[in-house]
Amino acid sequence: MQTSRRHFLMLTVGVSSSLMLSRVALADTANTLSEADPKAQAVGYKEDASKVDKAKFPDYAAGQTCANCSLFQGKSTDAYGGCTLFGDKQVAARGWCSSYSNM
């Protein structure tokens, strides 16, 4: 089978773009905060605010999420965003921790 230069270039561009997209996706998931992280455990971080132990964290109120916390550095529509507490780690917008503040 003989391959033309045009076919080779199209194949190379396709494979390269696929690899770049997969690296971006892996980087995004590697940069998210885990509930098992010691810093996250220290403040009771949960990726899903509906799973907060209300007996352990009586200050939690329905509707409080990272997305509407003043420490959240993403847009309210982002699935994940930065938080001033966790440095370069991304927190879930639907998450919650005991440092929640809406001021």
- Are 25 and 38 contained in the same domain? no
pLDDT of residue 22: 44
Question: Tens of pLDDT along 32-77?
Answer: 999 999 999 999 999 999 999 999 999 999 999 999 999 999 987 8
pLDDT of residue 12: 67
pLDDT of residue 14: 58
The parent domain of residue 38 ranges over 32-103
Over range 70-87, report the average pLDDT. 94
- Are 74 and 102 contained in the same domain? yes
The CATH number of whichever domain residue 95 belongs to comes to 4.10.490.10
- Are 5 and 52 contained in the same domain? no
User: Quick one: tokens of 60?
Assistant: 């939690």
Long-range contacts of 34-37 (CB under 8 A, 24+ apart): 37/86, 37/89
pLDDT of residue 19: 46
Give the chain's domain count: 2
User: Quick one: tokens of 74?
Assistant: 């993403």
The overall average pLDDT reported for the chain is 84
64-73 b/e (C-beta count within 10 Å ≥ 16 → b): bbbbebebbe
CA distances from 98 to 60, 67, 101 (A): 7, 14, 9
What predicted TM-score, i.e. pTM, was given to this entire model?
0.70
Residues with Cβ within 8 Å of residue 64, at least 6 apart in sequence: 49, 96, 100, 102
